[in-house]
Amino acid sequence: MRPLTITKSTCPLCNKELVTNWVEDNIPFFGEVMHITSMCECGFRYSDTMIMTQRKPVHYELKIKNPDDLDARVVRSTSGTIRIPELGIDIEPGPASESFVSNIEGVLDRVEEIIGMVTRWGEKEKTERALELLSTLEKIKAGEYEITVIIEDPLGNSAIIAKNAIRRELTDEEAARLKTGMILFEK
């Protein structure tokens, strides 16, 4: 069993005691990680997997041309930015950014969920654009529309794992323009 560390703090919702469990692990493609789980009796929950290693900044790119391409594995760390240029979509990391392992279809499902929220806001112009994007996402899943999925990570912990994915290191200038979604401590 992996070592467990327990810390206690204050719940941001009810101000009662918040118990946080910290467990070290080693996960393929991520390396050394820390699983963090917080739970409060009021129902507040938080969990994340924090990557403990830093690699060279990286750019992955994959053309999605048919439904088989939707099966490509996606590893997105909390510092990874996902772009779909043909749709004008940039998913940048923020303070509540979560890491995940999925496939391209799972990424598109996440995008679809966010766009679906926009349709419920009731703003006519934004709703029309959101409905257009939802229609395009259906065409992508059916293999009727091609897109490019890009993942860029200044800490090098994200990837697209597919035989036809293009990988290259980011230049220092490219990496500096990306958000990390976290506080970084420099040596």
Say whether pLDDT at 51 is over 90. Answer: no
Whether 4-51 shares its CATH topology with 58-176 is answered no
Q: What is the mean pLDDT of residues 171-177?
A: 90
pTM comes to 0.75
Domain ranges of the chain: 4-51, 58-176
Model pLDDT, residue 184: 44
Say whether pLDDT at 60 is over 90. Answer: yes
Model pLDDT, residue 29: 64
Give the pLDDT band (50/70/90) at residue 181: low
**Higher pLDDT among residues 28 and 101, named by residue:** 101
Say whether pLDDT at 187 is over 60. Answer: no
The secondary structure of 29-90 as a DSSP string is: TTEEEEEEEEE-TTS-EEEEEEE------EEEEEEE-SGGGGG-EEEE-TT-EEEEGGGTEE
**Higher pLDDT among residues 108 and 30, named by residue:** 108
- Which structure tokens are listed for 48? 């994340």
Q: What is the mean pLDDT of residues 102-112?
A: 95
CA atoms within a 13 Å half-sphere pointing along the CA-CB vector of 97? 20
According to the CATH classification, is domain 58-176 in 2.60.120.10? no
Q: What is the mean pLDDT of residues 72-81?
A: 90
Give the pLDDT band (50/70/90) at residue 47: confident
H/E segment holding residue 84: strand 81-84
Give the pLDDT band (50/70/90) at residue 26: confident
According to CATH, what is the number of the domain 4-51?
2.20.25.420
Model pLDDT, residue 31: 73
Give the pLDDT band (50/70/90) at residue 109: very high
Say whether pLDDT at 183 is over 50. Answer: no
Give the pLDDT band (50/70/90) at residue 149: very high
